[in-house]
Amino acid sequence: MATTRVIVLNGGSSSGKSSLARALQEQLPRPWLAFGIDDLVDALPPALREPTPDLDSGAAPGIGFAPDGTVSVGDGFRVLEAAWMAGVAATARAGAPVIVDDVFLSGPASQQRWREALHGLDVLWVAVRCDPAEAAARERARGDRTAGMAADQAARVHRGVHYDLAVDTTRTPPAACARTIAAHLAARA
């Protein structure tokens, strides 16, 4: 496990990525930092979390959440996202192993942005799958997500993305999924 510096967890909203990241932190033999896309969104200024269209281009500058659960991102968000990715990569390069919890809204283009930021680091790419109906039920129970987000993202975020490993959190608890990932890391070392 000494060579892998980054674990990237990709899955839709309410798929269990954050719980899985915490379970990994508990099970892996050395300390790993966890960074989630929700942390970036929470750190954005309000003007970029509730974007208004740019009058010249008609595009939203930040991140927007439509009533049907779809998410859109604009250039302002992408600039800050790139800086965040570079910071996460710098943390891994400085010696701290990192778990990334992300939602690849643009599928392979999202993965490519991470590949560029993490260039030269040993990365384990993990699909975090969850049945859309189960993810929607979790979304309703959470109450902090726009209804429809989980269903919209459940399959879409995985299209065209290449992984080293996949886990399914529909009926498998985070601790068991974490054991699967830890075993994969041990075999890979």
Residue 1, pLDDT score: 41
Taking only the tens of pLDDT, the chain with its 189 residues reads 447 899 999 999 999 999 999 999 999 989 999 999 999 999 998 888 865 555 455 556 788 888 888 888 888 899 999 999 999 999 999 999 999 999 999 999 999 999 999 999 999 999 999 999 999 999 899 877 888 889 999 999 999 999 999 999 999 999 999 999 999 999 987
Residue 166, pLDDT score: 98
Question: Any idea which residues carry the catalytic annotation?
Answer: 38
Residue 138, pLDDT score: 94
Q: Which residues contact 45 (CB under 8 A, 6 or more apart)?
A: none
Of 78, 100, 80, which is closest to residue 88 (Cα–Cα)?
A: 100
**Cβ 11 vs Cβ 127: under 8 Å:** yes
Q: How far apart are CA 32 and CA 21, in angstroms?
A: 9
Residue 47, pLDDT score: 82
At position 178, the amino acid (one-letter code) is A
Q: Which residues contact 59 (CB under 8 A, 6 or more apart)?
A: 53, 74, 75
* Distance in angstroms between the alpha carbons of the first and the last residue of the chain: 5
CATH class for the region spanning 4-43+84-188:
alpha beta
- DSSP 8-state class, residue 57: T
Residue 2, pLDDT score: 46
